Amino acid sequence: MTLRDRYGKTQLVFDPEENPELAADAKRLRAEWVLRVDGNVRKRPDDMINPKMPTGEIEIVVTSIEKLATPDTPPLLPEDEFEPSEEHRLRWRFLDLRRARMQRNLAKRHELAQITRRYFSDLGFMEIETPFLTRSTPEGARDFVVPSRLHHGQWYALPQSPQTYKQILMVAGYDRYFQVVRCFRDEDFRANRQPEFTQIDVEMSFCDPDDVMGVTEGLMKKIFEDQLNVPFPDKVQQMSYDEAIRRFGSDKPDLRFGNELVDLTDLFAGNGFGVIDNTVKAGGRVIGVLAQGQVKSSRKVVGEWESFVKERGLGGLMPLRKVDGNWPGPLGKFIPESNLEQAAELLGMNLESDLAFVAVAPAPRVHEVMGMLRLELAQKFEWIPADKHELLWVVDFPLLEYDEEAKRHVALHHPFTAPDPATYEQYKDSEPTKILSQAYDLVWNGEEVAGGSIRIHDREMQMKMFNLLGMSEEEAKTRFSFLMEALEYGAPPHGGIAFGFDRLVMLITGESSIRDVIPFPKTTQAVALFEGAPGKIDATQFRELGLSPKSDTQN
């Protein structure tokens, strides 16, 4: 019989000759009962040693047992050979957390938190807590809001990040701040997001992007060496946002494999292929991606990949391949063979074995969807080396993007990001979307694990930024009065970064879902299954908050 606790497993032995009553009692024990056991530790015989267990060389000869809890057979057994469904695991999370895998994951989570605190403390950073009940400043994701019982009609918001507070701490003279902090965002359902999550929040005064990146890389170096036992690169490469979109269709490119996007516009446009010519005249691009070893893909398989891109907004997908000396399909019909051969060379195709997919559509959407196809192909055909680690800084982000629905410019990161001075002066009055920001994201194996920027520290510049976002001075004061007031009294130049703590733990442990590294996560529908949250509140609570519940017919 095996006894399990957080530290591992230990073999129990009952001697029926020495204590027959105890041995008989042991036969009535059941899985997941909680026991206290007394006994004597002894070395196992050589032929009974279990090298797969840390305690495999010893066993406990039991002298007494106390049954502390005798539950029925639980709906989830930690030793189950087959993985239960995620819904079942989350419904019985307290049982799921007994599993060895989950205990390892939470131990890694604890270790990362301790590494983080030691690292920043050793560099002179102070961990300072910021409020959870704060003012709603709607810009970006939706806030979770909390009604005030003492001030009817007034609402708190749970922070999406401590952004304004950490900037105010810089004004207050705390030049090096960090915090391992919970954040809250009321986002639409997304596979690997949580409504509440943890981030490592960092801010520094009198710094430039290189300073922040250097501090960030120092923590990543400790993670690589202490947690993964792999060397950290001598230099983390940097790539502009435009280049990342152009080559990989993503601002968080996975560099562990090739198959970069290739622009074939010059080779394929102007050859009488109406779909291509018309789209390119309207500003579109022709983009190809290699699928090595797939030249024999059936029409059905090609159709499935075409459905993939159509579901994401493209009009179609054209295969590029040479079969029995011919180029089948519409590309072979309209595009000269010499152009097709040049395209194949640019894509790195082996004409004997490889296939490529080509799409034409407006940019940058064609890049984004073909980037998704690149990743889907890599996962399907297992092109991504499991033991490879690639880090990348993505820089030179646009400061703004235009929201067609809202009919105004919005901040690509947040409205406190400092613009690049040169492009700001060049484009502020003519083409604001061409203004670059002093923002930087750290990407690890295709996952954004940290993002930050140099902040606006001048009140007048901050007001100009709000104006670019279509916000009047009165509206800016209403939303961000506390920050604007603080900037009036002398803010040092400052910048910072925030790490996605849950995502870091996911990558360290090799998990594919952040729900497997969070003790009590929500489902993709933002539901806590075993607690039953969200739930209703009673009429008394409504009255105390000065609210009126809807009737059941209105719900």
CATH classification of the domain holding 128: 3.30.930.10
User: Residue 553: pLDDT above 50?
Assistant: no
Of 333, 358, 384, the residue at which a domain comes to its end is 384
Task: Read off the pLDDT of residues 194-207 as tens digits, 9 standing for 90 and up.
Answer: 999 999 999 999 99
Task: Read off the pLDDT of residues 221-262 as tens digits, 9 standing for 90 and up.
Answer: 999 999 999 999 999 999 999 999 999 999 999 999 999 999
- Same domain? 327 vs 269: yes
What is the model's pLDDT at position 338?
96
Residue 244 lies in a domain: no
| 421 against 191, higher pLDDT | 421
Task: Read off the pLDDT of residues 207-223 as tens digits, 9 standing for 90 and up.
Answer: 999 999 999 999 999 99
User: Residue 383: pLDDT above 90?
Assistant: yes
The total number of structural domains in the chain stands at 3
What is the model's pLDDT at position 555?
42
CATH classification of the domain holding 296: 3.30.1360.30
CATH classification of the domain holding 28: 2.40.50.140
- Same domain? 20 vs 66: yes
- Same domain? 172 vs 55: no
pLDDT band for position 162 (cuts 50, 70, 90): very high
C-alpha triplet 537, 538, 541: angle, nearest 5°: 85
C-alpha triplet 300, 305, 310: angle, nearest 5°: 115
pLDDT band for position 331 (cuts 50, 70, 90): very high
- Over the range 263-299, which residues count as b (16 or more CB within 10 Å of their CB) and which as e? bbbebbbeeebebbbebbeeebbbbbbbbbebbebee
- 3-state DSSP helix/strand/coil % of the chain, to nearest 5: 35, 25, 40
Q: What is the pTM of this model?
A: 0.91
- Same domain? 103 vs 197: yes
Residue 369 lies in a domain: yes
Of 384, 402, 433, the residue at which a domain comes to its end is 384
pLDDT band for position 41 (cuts 50, 70, 90): very high
Helix/strand/coil for 253: coil
Of 350, 365, 384, the residue at which a domain comes to its end is 384
Task: Give residue 378's domain range.
Answer: 257-384
Helix/strand/coil for 42: strand
pLDDT band for position 554 (cuts 50, 70, 90): very low
Query: Mean pLDDT across the stretch 323-341?
Result: 94
DSSP β-ladder status, 126-127 and 176-184: parallel
Mean pLDDT of the chain: 93
- The Cα 249–Cα 254 span in angstroms is 10
- Same domain? 261 vs 365: yes
- Same domain? 117 vs 59: no
Residue 176 lies in a domain: yes
What is the model's pLDDT at position 459?
93
Residue 446 lies in a domain: no
